[in-house]
């Protein structure tokens, strides 16, 4: 049984085929998070939002779980894309608000980067 403060490690083995996604779902109690890894060419210089963010890993995992839940609301791809584009606009407007603290801005930036990365991968 996983208790508060425990460390959980998820391992995904990537596909040997380019652009092939592999997913794994971690469920603890009633909460589930799906992780996805996509194999890219070695010379691909893009890096994931997760690796670039300076937020603590626990915070990034919480935001990633929320992001996955949000994007999985819609069964229809066009509704999902419309929703995620709207989310980008909403986040962008909040990041311009000076009243937000720096940790809130970092969290919003991370969610923005995740969303933008996902949308770019699904163009």
Q: Any idea where the domains of the chain sit in the sequence?
A: 1-42, 46-121
Q: What does the pLDDT read at residue 32?
A: 83
Q: Which residues of 13-40 are buried (b: 16+ CB within 10 A; e: fewer)?
A: eeeeeeeeeeeeeeeeeeeebebeeeee
Q: What does the pLDDT read at residue 112?
A: 85
Q: What does the pLDDT read at residue 46?
A: 41
Output the pTM of the full model. Answer: 0.49
> Can you give the pLDDT of all 123 residues of the chain as single tens digits?
888 888 888 787 877 777 778 888 888 888 888 888 777 654 433 446 767 777 777 777 788 878 877 777 777 788 888 888 888 888 877 776 656 567 777 888 888 888 888 888 877
Pairwise CA distance, residues 112 & 89, whole Å: 9
Give the containing element (helix H, strand E) for 38.
Answer: strand 31-38
């Amino acid at each position: 049984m996983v208790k508060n403060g425990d460390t959980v490690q998820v391992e995904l083995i990537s596909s040997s085929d380019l652009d092939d996604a592999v997913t794994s779902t971690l469920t603890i109690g009633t909460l589930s998070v799906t992780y996805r890894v996509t194999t890219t060419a070695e010379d691909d210089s893009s890096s994931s939002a997760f690796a670039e963010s300076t937020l603590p890993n626990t915070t990034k995992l919480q935001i990633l779980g929320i992001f996955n839940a949000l994007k999985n609301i819609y069964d229809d791809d066009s509704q999902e894309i419309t929703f995620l584009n709207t989310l980008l606009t909403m986040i962008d407007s909040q990041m311009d608000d000076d009243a937000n603290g720096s940790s809130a801005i970092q969290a919003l930036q991370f969610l923005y980067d995740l969303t933008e990365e996902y949308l770019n991968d699904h163009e």
